[in-house]
Structure 1
Amino acid sequence: MEHKSNVRVVEMSAYLVWLRDLGPSFVVREGDARSRREIAGVDWQYNAYGGYNDLFGPEDHQLNRRKGHEEHITQDNLVARKVLELERIPRFETNFVLEGGSIHVDGEGTCITTEQCLCHGNRNPHMSKDEIENQLKTHLGVSKVIWLPKGLYGDEVISGHVDNICCFAGPSTVLLSWIDDKSDPQHEHSAAAFDVLSNTTDAKGRKLDIIKIHVPGPLYMTEEEAQPFLGLVALGQQRLAGSYVNFYIANGGVVAPAFGDKWDEEARKVLEKVFPKHEVVMVEGGREIVLGGGNIHCATQQQPAVCSNPSDADTM
């Protein structure tokens, strides 16, 4: 890799690549004319998307594999702490189980999530929906939580993360994974989300501008592709959670997955229209990434800049 003066490579032990889910969620306290902005990181609890039993089943012959998975959970649960220690950023520890891919915020007081994930009994079974919402408000500093019923069809292993079906693209603007074909099971998920989004407002009372972006495929995992993934050949022909919403926003750029699919170019055009001041880069190999259960947004985590004065903030 060509050396860049503004890129630092850090070696860190982790079982999974999904920094969005393992790493900290950064929160910001804006400064004023006399003080600089401050950032901190929320260190959520991680339990491998609900625990190893959901992944491996209770069979005795899987015992050693489950024990190994427990060790991986312990290792992955340290990632957020390590990142914050490396960056010397204050850490807010919480006992609340959450993956970063299960939330999207607009930076103006609104959070979007799914009932399928956060209300699942394998995350925080002792909490009601209202209690979960209060946790989000407390730790993220939001005042409004919009609950979508489900995530993307085929995203059941991680209980339907919101970052595959819907995301904010700006103030009062959301992108929604969509398919017109009513016979496709994804249509029901998308239509239910559209209904919720159409009948709510953000934290500032604004109606949402909903921009639809067609899902790729449908894409399916073959038995050959399933072989390396924990040996679960039964996953062969499982529908993959392919989504163009699972992208990363950088300073001046949007990095989105391309799947070698007929919908790739349309997705590029939608993103270029939604982000006219950003360069949209479609990364080939989105299919290979989604075989592991996530995509570009899942594998990345933005860290806000600490600006010396408020006028610098618009360069983030």
Structure 2
Amino acid sequence: MKRLTSLPALDGFYMPGEFEPHRGCIMIWPKRPGSWPFGAREARKAFAEIAESIADSEHVIMLAEKDVMESARQMLSDRIEVVEMASDDAWARDVGPTFVVNKDRHVRGIDWQFNAWGGHTDGLYADWEKDDLVAGAFLERFGYPAYDARHFVLEGGSIHSDGEGTLLVTERCLLSDGRNPSLTRLEIEEQLKNYLGAEKIIWLPYGIYQDETNEHVDNVCAFVRPGEVVLAWTDDNNDPQYEMSLADLKLLEQETDAKGRHFIIHKLPIPKVPVCIKEEELSGFVFEPGEDQREAGERLAASYVNFYISNGGVIVPQFGDEHDQKAVKILGECFPDRRIYPVYARDIIVGGGNIHCITQQIPEGEVHEKGNSGSGPDEVLRRHQ
């Protein structure tokens, strides 16, 4: 793997929009007993359904630890490439690399520092060593040149790009004490601009209520195309989310993107009934020392914004709530050329995240190098075709 110490923006690289063409998608097979109750039995069914939905239009690479490789192979079709790789949990969005492209559609990866969403300040587990190595290991295995950004803590779920110079983030997450406390807001902006090629950062005040990632942006607001976003919303002014989403809405209405466009904003309802951990689910967890523990009745950060855009579809979380179909309808109107895949996702949200959190897109494009082992990305694509 070629490890790059230059800055992507100076090299002409930037983060494309998720709605742009993909070469494939990274996922990680779940096993952590503190995230996935009852041996990840139900979670694996949901992961498999999501992987197969994505595989209808793009290649899926499922990373799995050695002891669960056979489980993954048994539950997934031959369309899914299962690759042995160590990790602490299954949040591919946050531990995987962020990919950047240039105008010639050459693709490189960024290896950020990962510290379990807050390190020793407010991180969610005590040991994240394997997760912190996933991005670099993936880039090496599949032959992508890697930008070294390990001086900077960032998760993929905390950023959303329109591919045209605009980046969405939340203040609550990127300014949290457990990530880059020695950096000012302007210095954090400088890092985002240098590594993601962003020209303008939109700082939303809040994410989703009770989001234990310090309110990742991918749970509250997402681009559907340049100049157009969906925003998690509730009309219930007794819900704590109401004031949070209202503050985000007011900011978006006042802002313009990097091209000077005002945003088209689609309000996407959150579930009408809060999604909470049940006593019977709680009995299936096995928590490690120092790991954040769930409690019966705890409200989870359920949001329909946490969808994944594949080449041919949009995979949308469902919660058995009366707003499920409304969310599907709104997203169907936002993505008229893509198939909507509704997936029951309660068995993912109990782990603390959702569909977007367990996926990481690899943009379409050329790669400068081949890896020293395993399949190069071009070989993977040929097999998929």
TM more than 0.5: yes
- The answer on 1:3 being equivalent to 2:70 is no
> Could you say what secondary structure the match of 2:111 adopts?
strand
> Could you say what secondary structure the match of 1:194 adopts?
helix
Gaps of 5+ in 2: 1-75, 368-385
Kindly report the root-mean-square deviation, in angstroms, between the aligned alpha carbons of the 2 structures: 1.6
- The answer on 1:226 being equivalent to 2:282 is yes
Runs of 4+ in 1 over 4 A off after TM superposition: 231-234
d(CA) in 2 for partners of 1:54, 1:2: 38
**Is this contact kept in 2: 1:105–1:111, CA < 8 A?**
yes
Question: What residue identity is the alignment partner of 1:15?
Answer: D
1:152 is matched with which residue?
208
- The answer on 1:83 being equivalent to 2:163 is no
**Is this contact kept in 2: 1:254–1:280, CA < 8 A?**
yes
Aligned-pair CA distance for 1:158: 1.1
d(CA) in 2 for partners of 1:53, 1:29: 36
**Is this contact kept in 1: 2:121–2:178, CA < 8 A?**
no
d(CA) in 2 for partners of 1:235, 1:203: 42
Number of aligned positions between the proteins: 286
Aligned-pair CA distance for 1:8: 2.0
Of 225, 229, 253, 1:198 maps to 253
Of 272, 277, 284, 2:332 maps to 272
**Is this contact kept in 2: 1:226–1:233, CA < 8 A?**
no
2:43 is matched with which residue?
none
- Looking at both structures, which has the greater relative contact order when contacts are Cα pairs under 8 Å and sequence separation is at least 6? 2
Change (3 A) 1:149 1:173: same
d(CA) in 1 for partners of 2:348, 2:261: 35
Aligned-pair CA distance for 1:51: 1.8
- The answer on 1:46 being equivalent to 2:46 is no
Question: What residue identity is the alignment partner of 1:51?
Answer: G
d(CA) in 1 for partners of 2:164, 2:175: 24
2:310 is matched with which residue?
250
| Identity within the alignment, % | 48
1:165 is matched with which residue?
220
> Could you say what secondary structure the match of 2:258 adopts?
coil
Aligned-pair CA distance for 1:233: 6.3
- The answer on 1:116 being equivalent to 2:177 is no
Question: What residue identity is the alignment partner of 2:256?
Answer: T
**Is this contact kept in 1: 2:114–2:132, CA < 8 A?**
yes
What is the CA deviation profile of residues 224-261 of structure 1, one whole-angstrom value per residue up to 9, with x for unaligned ones?
32340527766221111001100111111111111111
1:34 is matched with which residue?
none
> Could you say what secondary structure the match of 2:82 adopts?
coil
Of 224, 237, 255, 1:182 maps to 237
TM-score of the superposition, structure 1-length normalised?
0.87
Of 364, 373, 378, 1:305 maps to 364
What is the CA deviation profile of residues 79-110 of structure 1, one whole-angstrom value per residue up to 9, with x for unaligned ones?
00011112201100111101100010000100
d(CA) in 1 for partners of 2:214, 2:293: 20
TM-score of the superposition, structure 2-length normalised?
0.72
**Is this contact kept in 2: 1:223–1:234, CA < 8 A?**
no
Aligned-pair CA distance for 1:16: 1.0
1:26 is matched with which residue?
99
